[in-house]
Structure 1
Amino acid sequence: MASNRLGSDYNTWINSLRSDFSRDLRRRDRVEAEAEKPPTGANKVERVHWYIKDNARNHKTIKYDLVHDKEKPRPVLRRGQLFYLAIRFQENFDQAKDRVVLNFRFGHKPSVSKGTLGVVMVKNDKLTRTKDEWDCRIDPGTRGKDLVVQVYIPIGACVGIYHLEVLSGLHNSPNTGMNTYLDETDCYILFNPWSRDDTVFLEDEQKREEYVMNDRGKVWVGAYRKARGRPWAFGQFDDVVLPVAVYLLEISKVADPERGNPVKVVRGISAGVNSSDENGVLEGRWDGEYSDGVPPYRWSGSVRILEQYVKSGYQPVKYGQCWVFSALVTTVCRALGIPCRSVTNFVSAHDTNSSLTIDKFFDKQGEEIEGGPDGENWDSIWNFHVWNDVWMARNDLPAGYGGWQAIDATPQEESDHKMQCGPTSLVAIRRGDIGLNYDAPFVFAEVNADVMHWGEDPQSEWGWSRMKMNKYHVGRSIMTKTSGKEDDIGDDDGEDVVNDYKNEEGTMAERLAIHNAIRGSRRAMQYYNFKSDVKEDVTFDLIDIDKIIMGQPFQVKVVARNESNETRKVRAFLNARSLYYTGVSVAHIKKAEGNFIIEPKGTQEVAMTVQFKEYWEKLVEHCMMKIYAICRVEETQQTWTDEDDFTVEKPRLNIQVTGEPRVRNMCEVTMSFTNPLDVPLTNCHISMDGPGLMRPRSIDITDNVAPNQEFVYSTRFMPRIHGERKLIIAFNSKELFDITGSKTLVVVKAE
């Protein structure tokens, strides 16, 4: 109650007080304890210098905002590399006399045996240990009071925040107590995809640049034939990201000693990004009711979400859906040094009963029965579903299963009593090896499940007979942003990676993978053993709808061909509905049914036209529609069904920038598009993100946009960091939402 009454950031303020008070208390205790120690005659440490920016350049972490913080810069380093460190003593450092030990402390209870305490004796000018151990050498730059060392971080070091403790004593009095100096600096150590010895090593430089260093990109949404790359600002170098990434590993309860293992780390990330367990970052919602939060389609970058999470006292942010969860995972993984890509599976199966099939039931009128005949079947097909691939070796699996691994932060099914999924080897999915860790059957079904349509049949033993098994419906394409390519105007920077997940549809290898998986599921064997001897001598084809522009009508058409030498009478049902991208039906748009005759060897078309005024008010986010077609042949009882989904295309946002993009030089951005509707756009809003250009912005537009009129809006910003940057903007209104655009800028250094 108090936090609600005093504001959303009250919890943050209270937590900061607790943290500051606890830190001050620990500091006073250490000072007093040191003062009470008997004199040792040993040299004492005055301060530590981290060479933060120099080390960051060598460790490829110079882009992190934490490195450049003017008041409290923090070192960001990668394991498997050396870094420079200087220790200033009260008296001149004497290597022959002074005994110095460096303790690198990690986690709640640092322990040498658990790998969370690195103990390094400073005594040599050469490295003497293995790549799996902390080590250091004295640098020639050592002189006077300054001891300069190069410290090696073990290749398997835990990832997160370390604190340095320096012990100083005398070589000739080893039993005499040592002075202790604890440096308060938070030192971040990350995975190292540049090191061949690291389990996340990625050899291709262009792919490293894309999957680790690129702080902007796209998340694919829409329908599989007309996929749209939605621009997104990942912003993994922003100052809010690394602290939250470390926090997520805490709340997801990844044990301290396991935080050097990318398998455990990404599994923890998949649990921590959603709010289902331990108040993770983002709360999901799919019913269209977002009045107490932010609609998912308003987000255009990760940083604003993470900032809101921190400012609200680490309470879940409302609301997200799969593409937002995936974008956040991309941000967190790349921040920690794990190569990561957001991938979108178009026509994605959610197999609730582990049958490796998606079962849909239809009554005699051709209407789908939600929940099936017993109300217990909630298999579904999402028009698209977005998750992530992360790159790593899999030392916990047999040889050959490393490389890309699928993880999913969208809360769907529990795994080990948590809403988490993966990492699942893509090699295992392609082979149908669903018995391997983690969650392989679920991911396999998402891209491979066969769709079974069941029709009401009084003569069947259980009242239903199988009308159709579509083996090539699920997992039509799996899209991601290709490496090394940017397209602000269109979507030529997309790449279909479906062949990473499965063999080509219809090939012997693809069917063998299916059968391999079926052998691992008793429920699947029951469904696939179903036989049907119905005579099928009429072929049907539901004509694909390639493109519909907002404001235009569309037509549903089925072409039937009679392959027999006899006349066939056919009854057809055509049904158009609006739906959420998860496949959940929203509203009935139009239905048509009737009978027609097909002559022997003849062809007949049946069509239904849907006008703009019949569908546009029934559309919801993503503007998706689904078409069902069912045809029954009277003479043979042959039944055919098919379905199609598509999106109504909306205009893109045009973005123009005036003024020279220069650090600390004011620029103006103008965005525009034409309202395609014959009604005004109300409750207009703009979201802006630009890593290195500006802090995320949320702008309410007071004026409406008149029907068929151009919307134009300008605002100003001052670039923060030089280099190639991208401005990402999303426009939303009550009537029309998710109008997006992006603009790449090259910012030059300040004069």
Structure 2
Amino acid sequence: MDPIQVELTEFYPKDNARESRTEEYDLVQNSDFPTPILRRGCNFFFAIRFNREFDEIHDAVRVRFGFGPKPNVLKGTRVILPILARQKTFSKNTNIWSSCVERIDGNTVMLKVHIPPNAQVGIWKCSIQTNISGKRDKRYDYNVETDIYVLFNPWCEDDGVYMKSEEEKKEYVLNEVGKIWCGTFKKPTSKHWIFGQFDDIVLPAAVLLMEKSGLAPIDRGSPVLVARAISAVINSVDDDGLLEGKWDGNYDDGISPHAWTGSAAILDQYLRTGGTPVKYGQCWVFSAATVTVCRTLGIPCRSVTNYVSAHDTNCSLTIDKYFDLFGNKIESGPEGDCNDTCWNFHVWNDVWMKRPDLPSGYGGWQIIDATPQEQSGKMFRCGPASVEAVRRGVVGYLYDTPFVFSEVNADIVHFQEDEESDWGFSQLAVNQYHVGRKILTKRTDITDTQGDSDQWNITSLYKNPEGSEAERLAVYNAVKGVPKAQHLYNFPNKGDEDVYFDLIDIDEIPFGGSFEVAVQIESKSNELRNIIVVLSASSVYYNGATANTIKKSREPFSINPGQKTTLRLQVTPEEYLDKLVDHSLIKIYAIANVNETKQTWSEEDDFTLTKPEMIIQVNDVCKVGEECTVNFSFQNPLSIPLTGCSYTVEGPGLERAKTVLYGNVQPNESVNLTETFKAKRPGKRPIVASFTSKQIQGIERSIDLTIEP
């Protein structure tokens, strides 16, 4: 008698997807080759057709599931499940793989298999081994060609990523579209993004990235370690990861970060080129791609924007800025080794998970950051750092909590060259330009394609109110754990201050408009005061680095007792247009020195030039399979041409990202773009359009199209 042989297997991908909540994946719905995508903690049906009827007494059949290049039973990456007709229920231990026979129809056996909630996430392979019971002289091995994807399961209470709220799971796991906030804390601007985590190329690309990360197969069941690996492999610095970062404005050999409208095009290019890093990304692109990879793997994830985000390079919990005697900023400090910066905004990610490696109370939202800023464990990665640990200033817990704490809580210290100081500098001020001014993400209950009513201020989750006793206590808790910070927080007392200064905030200026740097000054002294005031305006990259000095003044003057006055520095568009860089951000500084009292003062502010509004019009009733025309238009607000122009349009279920080169746009010219789509699926479908030029990046708009059947 020969061993029984396998003729065919069936995983019923579409049926099993219902329990696993994976019906949205394109791979599952592929009409020719549907792929099984399953979640941990769920059960699935699996049928095996043999060449004859199964005989439990004589036939020994073992279904084997393997993970990684060298599956091993002891490491939990190899599972062997014997088929026993009498086995009608699962094992009582839900933390192990188990199977039972659902039914036997002739030569077909229907199995029901349970995936434990701690199984490794990624591609599992299946094989079936058959022989005659008690005999080892002849054996057949059948390899199932189908890849079986196993994902994290936020619906399973025993999974490390379990999330109780259905509304939050709908947003942080299932929502294919969202927003990322850029701009400044006074004028946040939203960038629409199509995450596209269910696109047919996204999940395979995410698995490739896991391979690139070098995370051992045995560790891919831990959401903590998987999230840390994702934060490393989204950037390309150490491991040929997904995206190469660039911040200098020259993107001629790749794609501008401003031109991307969604993640699928990035992951598609990465997959098609065999894992060659895609050019280029900046923090919001790294964050958006992280959302896509996390959500496709089943980890709840959101993009979070921190306005005035500190980059503390020496773990002092302060951002130190140096100025010479004439008020010029000394880049990299007097010794050339101080590269502390304040990003106008910085976008990272929160991932939701339990933290069994930390004390109780530190689970929930965890910060990871894929933008390559500082090394952690000899790689450019960051997190997961507990949001609650950051809020409390408990910086001793893994991972990278001191760095993240400084991003939202560091104090900015200005130093100015001082010939009378024993080290050549004296402290000007602990600036009122507080770090972590505002922390935003998208609300879970709405998606506003026309406005910004879906903006959600979550600053209180990361820090206590600025200046409050609880906020200062968190800072001092952190300082106690960071030796380098301790001497910097013994700030000297101020001397006599009898002149008051106030730098007037600038909220927003339209492209092509003039602005002024203005300082209000009031003397409370009974005597004449002689003062030197430096006013300056510079274009800056959004990571805080100075690009070009636009205009500067250094003015000595006298102020009488009780006098009030305002000093102004006027800046015209002709003076700034050719000096702008990405994001069109402008930083202004004001520095003052009072001769008689040696009083010093400094303050800084920044603002962005607002882009013209894009208008979207839909000319047709949109139906599945029929052409639908959409028009996009805006007006060049500048008195100079827009050059190096292109635009990108994208919509899930409508069209993958499509980039079109566009000719120069003349001064004050109106731009009109027309695109035609054929919708694949009914329902509400967002479409995003983004226009980019060398002069203005990312003029964009989004609209929801209602697609009729």
Q: Is this a same-fold pair by TM over 0.5? A: yes
For 1:223, the equivalent position in structure 2 comes to 184
For 1:167, the equivalent position in structure 2 comes to 129
- Secondary structure of 1:57's aligned partner: helix
1:582 CA displacement: 1.0
Amino acid at match of 1:736: I
Q: Deviations over 1:20-78 (max 9, x none)?
A: xxxxxxxxxxxxxxxxxxxx533221111111111112211111111122333211110
TM-score by length of 2: 0.97
For 1:633, the equivalent position in structure 2 comes to 594
For 2:607, the equivalent position in structure 1 comes to 646
1:98 CA displacement: 4.1
Paired with 1:194 and 1:61, the residues of 2 have a C-alpha distance of 12
For 2:321, the equivalent position in structure 1 comes to 360
In the TM superposition, 1:542-691 aligns within 5 A as 542-691=503-652
- Secondary structure of 2:118's aligned partner: coil
Q: Deviations over 1:475-526 (max 9, x none)?
A: 1011111112111222221111111111111111100110011111111012
Out of 675, 680, 687, which is 1:715 matched to? 675
8 Å CA contact 2:194, 2:652 repeated in 1: yes
Aligned pairs, number? 707
1:188 CA displacement: 0.4
Paired with 1:201 and 1:657, the residues of 2 have a C-alpha distance of 41
Pairing 1:505–2:469 present:
no
Paired with 2:497 and 2:82, the residues of 1 have a C-alpha distance of 80
8 Å CA contact 2:312, 2:407 repeated in 1: yes
- Secondary structure of 2:539's aligned partner: strand
Out of 88, 100, 119, which is 2:61 matched to? 100
Out of 344, 362, 374, which is 2:305 matched to? 344
For 1:143, the equivalent position in structure 2 comes to 105
1:274 CA displacement: 0.8
Which shows bigger deviation, 110-119 or 252-261? 110-119
Pairing 1:91–2:47 present:
no
Paired with 1:90 and 1:658, the residues of 2 have a C-alpha distance of 59
Q: What runs of 5+ residues in structure 1 fail to find an aligned partner?
A: 1-39
Paired with 1:528 and 1:630, the residues of 2 have a C-alpha distance of 22
8 Å CA contact 1:472, 1:505 repeated in 2: no
1:570 CA displacement: 2.3
8 Å CA contact 2:49, 2:108 repeated in 1: yes
Amino acid at match of 1:145: N
Amino acid at match of 1:634: N
For 2:687, the equivalent position in structure 1 comes to 727
In the TM superposition, 1:365-376 aligns within 5 A as 365-376=326-337
Paired with 2:577 and 2:446, the residues of 1 have a C-alpha distance of 35
Which shows bigger deviation, 84-93 or 388-397? 84-93
Q: Percent of counterpart pairs with the same letter?
A: 48
Out of 249, 262, 268, which is 1:307 matched to? 268
Paired with 1:588 and 1:254, the residues of 2 have a C-alpha distance of 45
- Secondary structure of 1:561's aligned partner: strand
Paired with 1:242 and 1:563, the residues of 2 have a C-alpha distance of 66
1:747 CA displacement: 2.7
8 Å CA contact 1:93, 1:143 repeated in 2: no
Paired with 1:652 and 1:621, the residues of 2 have a C-alpha distance of 18
- Secondary structure of 1:224's aligned partner: coil
Out of 353, 357, 379, which is 1:418 matched to? 379
- Secondary structure of 2:28's aligned partner: helix
For 1:131, the equivalent position in structure 2 comes to 94
1:416 CA displacement: 1.0
Out of 95, 110, 114, which is 1:152 matched to? 114
1:176 CA displacement: 6.4
Amino acid at match of 2:682: H
Paired with 2:162 and 2:182, the residues of 1 have a C-alpha distance of 29
1:178 CA displacement: 4.2
8 Å CA contact 1:466, 1:532 repeated in 2: no
Pick closer, same or farther for the CA change 1:194–1:174 going to 2, 3 Å: farther
| Alignment RMSD | 1.6
1:608 CA displacement: 1.8
8 Å CA contact 1:330, 1:340 repeated in 2: yes
8 Å CA contact 2:3, 2:138 repeated in 1: no
Paired with 1:512 and 1:112, the residues of 2 have a C-alpha distance of 49
Paired with 1:456 and 1:744, the residues of 2 have a C-alpha distance of 56
8 Å CA contact 1:78, 1:192 repeated in 2: yes
8 Å CA contact 1:191, 1:198 repeated in 2: yes
Paired with 1:317 and 1:639, the residues of 2 have a C-alpha distance of 48
Amino acid at match of 1:154: P
Paired with 2:254 and 2:636, the residues of 1 have a C-alpha distance of 26
In the TM superposition, 1:222-621 aligns within 5 A as 222-470=183-431, 473-621=434-582
Amino acid at match of 1:739: I
For 2:699, the equivalent position in structure 1 comes to 739
Q: Deviations over 1:82-101 (max 9, x none)?
A: 11111111113345654432
Paired with 2:550 and 2:644, the residues of 1 have a C-alpha distance of 26
Q: What runs of 5+ residues in structure 2 fail to find an aligned partner?
A: none
For 1:23, the equivalent position in structure 2 comes to none
Paired with 1:565 and 1:214, the residues of 2 have a C-alpha distance of 64
8 Å CA contact 1:538, 1:564 repeated in 2: yes
Paired with 2:683 and 2:21, the residues of 1 have a C-alpha distance of 15
8 Å CA contact 1:724, 1:744 repeated in 2: yes
